[in-house]
Structure 1
């Protein structure tokens, strides 16, 4: 595989002629042991011949010959240097190009660009390894040439050489004399010429996206190879994606996420760009308006910045009713809200970069887990969380600078065990976890946040306006009859929950076929109206619904109500009860699981609950009469979800948390929690 390098544009804040004078004076300082052929006097210390050091050392060759061609255009003020190897040409192909030109926005500045490629065609089977080692050696010294020229520019300035006149075409009769004079001038002293400011020479340049100084100012310190990857991927995007391309910091995030492997980063970035275009994510900050319910119950918000200038986002996860939010708003609204948070975070990073004068490319998230309990380990909610994590990991890599988790309760290791495998290893290394109150004092939040920024609910002095969350009223839960706003962008098409109506004498039933014993049936449902009785039955026969009953069911007011157990079936003969009847009252949320003993057909049944009949000698109670009237006049309504788990997947599953082990022992080395690994025995109802 050919190894390539492409530099950004490096700017010398001095005229082209002065840079040429330095290059010319350095001609005789070429590295010993190299034979350089050139058809023009000036050469450049930026040219590196380290590519063939390793092959020459292995082969025992004393001299390595390069062919170098220098082409100068004094009128256009350009210099092009092209070099290739003569030694090992049948095994190693080295091409290197350097160019000097006038800055397009300031004719008193000089731009420098450099590119190189290395292709080892044959080297005892170690071609790829030698290429990578040689390129690493090459880039390790790539900035040395710029430093050498800057050093000698300072030397010239200290001697009073601050200006060299530009070339002008001489008369034909004196052309030879003028050329000799120009060479002497380039090496001479001109104390009478206007002074050139040394401060301008090495000051920061404007935000030119092709400028190396711009990269350092707005993107951070990069190695020469990392700069090359950024420039090459950016150039590819400009050629392949005509028109708008991502910002440089956005491209750099994908490169970092793939350890600067251009091919992998390009694939990941292109998939993300397609995703953004398909779902119009670029416009989400202009189009998304969170529902009032989300603004009230979503316990998260932006809060100043940390000590490094990163925007700070606070999430009071322990106080947030994730289950209620999913049921009331659906996954679409939550996902869109999370995407808007990420888009806002990128915007704030740009603002802080301009404000603080240093690159800010990520943000800090402070997660308070006070109040986290088993309600947060609700399986569909965790599944929704994992889907959100997947979308964010794929499309917003390297945006999280640090994650501070405080007041982690004893149930947190279970959640961590379930979620951590889906989080990228680079991201997990940024987690700092504190249990109890050990986030206070040295080694705690004060190491990352100023005291006047720590929220009041964590013992700080700053009043935090992040909503406190709370339980979402069940009256706000959605059903299939109340779909999400049609204006929302559909990112997920499947529906987790189904709704059903239950009438007197017309139960709602679901059949689940089990092919192997020791499987696990899990369920989760909410009673939205009325009282119902839940049962689980088993039969070796497959329940069938008759054509007549199917017709009646489709035309009845129950809508999606389905009855599967035939009226002629005898309990204890045709089918058997596997779970005792459970009376579920209006407003209750029920979760449970059943380990199957035998293969066959299992039926989940919900039927309307009727008060027990009164004996003939006693008078009916007022409560029974009122309940009877309520049942006769209203239908019951419920939302349900069920899933079948294989026996090998049951232990430690999200809905049947049995004998789960602590996940603290699996946390990164950066974790500051002093808690020891401990086991929990948690059984979901």
Structure 2
């Protein structure tokens, strides 16, 4: 027997009538709650540059030309990320405009920033850092890593420092100046990997998205390292981040933010999106498709899962409070194998999967018995080989909750065929 993969279009979820619920009693908001509500999911005022010269103001075009002339007068040849800054082509213009934008198109300030960055890259050996083995295998895919793209095509970098609440891990990584410097090199390496994915082209993808998980982050211990990273990135990677999404933001974030704030420009602050604990999936789904979001954040992406090809597109749906949703996948033939992934952001509801034969009088098979899934659980991944034709029904029961939740699923059916 051989297997042939077939692509099936998902049927729309069959929604059952939500149970009626009494309206919750009003309550007074604390100062912290009001702060969190005001900052959660706000739309940043930041607008990403297109880098088309025709979109520049006359004064900005003039500044670009002046920067080119001053740079040419001081250097015969200079490059960054493999692009000659004196070539006069559009890729060079994109880089120069990033430095100009970071200094509000003040030519002399932009030139000084650019020259300092070039000097730093030479001393830091940043151009060849991507290929180096810096010995942080245990931090790969945990503390900082590139994973997928957002809905607009920006590469996404995830950051999570909760692992450093362990004192032994903290001392191993930041115990002295030498260790801190080594960690900074590794963190730059991760960023440089993301930059290699950029187009440096007008109208193209010229910046990344950063998602920072503040859960369990030891704020006091990481203050020195965080300030180093912020300063280093802001000085040497201007306009490289289109949006900064903070998730699992604790109540004390306002205090933490006051520490970081002096090191950030107003333009950088305008890129922030802040999401409190419990709203991770809801926040990320607004910017990133579920198949590109790591499973620990309510998505379907598992590290290393792209080795067998690109991620299969997922279908998004919403589970309202007091509602049960049935997803029916029909047209499954006898001998076919269906593989599926399903996730609900913040779960805390009941899930089950059944196979319903198409033949009259057939018995429904409980593929996955009803069970309560905790908030921290990752996406369900399972498969089933049908012995007879029928349909698969995936059910999520949110009738015991009033909270609306985002969700996603995907599936693929492999038909079994006989070789002749």
Q: Using the TM superposition, give the Cα deviation of residue 298 of structure 1 relative to its aligned residue in structure 2, in angstroms.
A: 5.1
TM-score of the pair, normalised by structure 2: 0.52
CA-atom RMSD in angstroms: 2.8
Aligned residue for 2:211? Answer: 366
Secondary structure, in 3 states, of the residue corresponding to 2:246? strand
Aligned residue for 1:395? Answer: 236
Give CA-to-partner distance per residue, 1:327-370, whole Å, 9 cap, x none: 287111111112222322322112xx67xx93222110111222
Aligned residue for 1:377? Answer: 220
Do residues 237 (structure 1) and 71 (structure 2) align?
Answer: yes
Aligned residues: 240
CA contact (8 A) 1:319 1:369 kept: no
Q: How does 1:194-593 map to 2 (within 5 A)?
A: 216=52, 221-245=55-79, 246=85, 247-286=92-131, 288-295=132-139, 299-321=143-165, 323-324=170-171, 325-327=173-175, 330-350=179-199, 358-372=203-217, 375-378=218-221, 381-441=222-282, 444-464=283-303
**Structure 1, unaligned runs of 5 or more:** 1-213, 467-685
Q: Using the TM superposition, give the Cα deviation of residue 294 of structure 1 relative to its aligned residue in structure 2, in angstroms.
A: 4.9
Secondary structure, in 3 states, of the residue corresponding to 1:452? helix
Q: Using the TM superposition, give the Cα deviation of residue 387 of structure 1 relative to its aligned residue in structure 2, in angstroms.
A: 1.9
Give CA-to-partner distance per residue, 1:627-669, whole Å, 9 cap, x none: xxxxxxxxxxxxxxxxxxxxxxxxxxxxxxxxxxxxxxxxxxx
CA contact (8 A) 2:148 2:293 kept: no
Q: Using the TM superposition, give the Cα deviation of residue 427 of structure 1 relative to its aligned residue in structure 2, in angstroms.
A: 0.8
Give CA-to-partner distance per residue, 1:92-127, whole Å, 9 cap, x none: xxxxxxxxxxxxxxxxxxxxxxxxxxxxxxxxxxxx
State how far apart, in whole Å, the 2-side matches of 1:274 and 1:440 are: 41
State how far apart, in whole Å, the 2-side matches of 1:274 and 1:227 are: 26
Moved over 6 A (4+): none
> Which structure carries more relative contact order (alpha carbon 8 Å, separation 6+)?
2
Q: Using the TM superposition, give the Cα deviation of residue 436 of structure 1 relative to its aligned residue in structure 2, in angstroms.
A: 1.9
Q: Using the TM superposition, give the Cα deviation of residue 314 of structure 1 relative to its aligned residue in structure 2, in angstroms.
A: 0.9
CA contact (8 A) 1:304 1:312 kept: yes
Give CA-to-partner distance per residue, 1:286-312, whole Å, 9 cap, x none: 4x3220455458522101111121110
State how far apart, in whole Å, the 1-side matches of 2:194 and 2:215 are: 24
Secondary structure, in 3 states, of the residue corresponding to 1:348? coil
State how far apart, in whole Å, the 2-side matches of 1:456 and 1:252 are: 37
Q: Using the TM superposition, give the Cα deviation of residue 454 of structure 1 relative to its aligned residue in structure 2, in angstroms.
A: 2.1
Q: Using the TM superposition, give the Cα deviation of residue 319 of structure 1 relative to its aligned residue in structure 2, in angstroms.
A: 3.6
Secondary structure, in 3 states, of the residue corresponding to 2:175? helix
Q: Using the TM superposition, give the Cα deviation of residue 423 of structure 1 relative to its aligned residue in structure 2, in angstroms.
A: 1.8
State how far apart, in whole Å, the 2-side matches of 1:285 and 1:461 are: 27
Query: CA 1:400–1:220 in 2, change beyond 3 Å: closer, same or farther?
Result: farther
CA contact (8 A) 2:244 2:271 kept: yes
Rg bigger for which structure? 1
TM-score of the pair, normalised by structure 1: 0.33
State how far apart, in whole Å, the 1-side matches of 2:147 and 2:109 are: 35
Q: Using the TM superposition, give the Cα deviation of residue 282 of structure 1 relative to its aligned residue in structure 2, in angstroms.
A: 2.5
CA contact (8 A) 2:154 2:209 kept: yes
Secondary structure, in 3 states, of the residue corresponding to 2:198? helix
**Structure 2, unaligned runs of 5 or more:** 1-49, 80-84, 86-91, 306-420
CA contact (8 A) 1:439 1:445 kept: yes
Aligned residue for 2:358? Answer: none
Q: Using the TM superposition, give the Cα deviation of residue 457 of structure 1 relative to its aligned residue in structure 2, in angstroms.
A: 1.0
Q: How does 1:71-220 map to 2 (within 5 A)?
A: 216=52
CA contact (8 A) 2:67 2:107 kept: yes
Query: CA 1:431–1:394 in 2, change beyond 3 Å: closer, same or farther?
Result: same
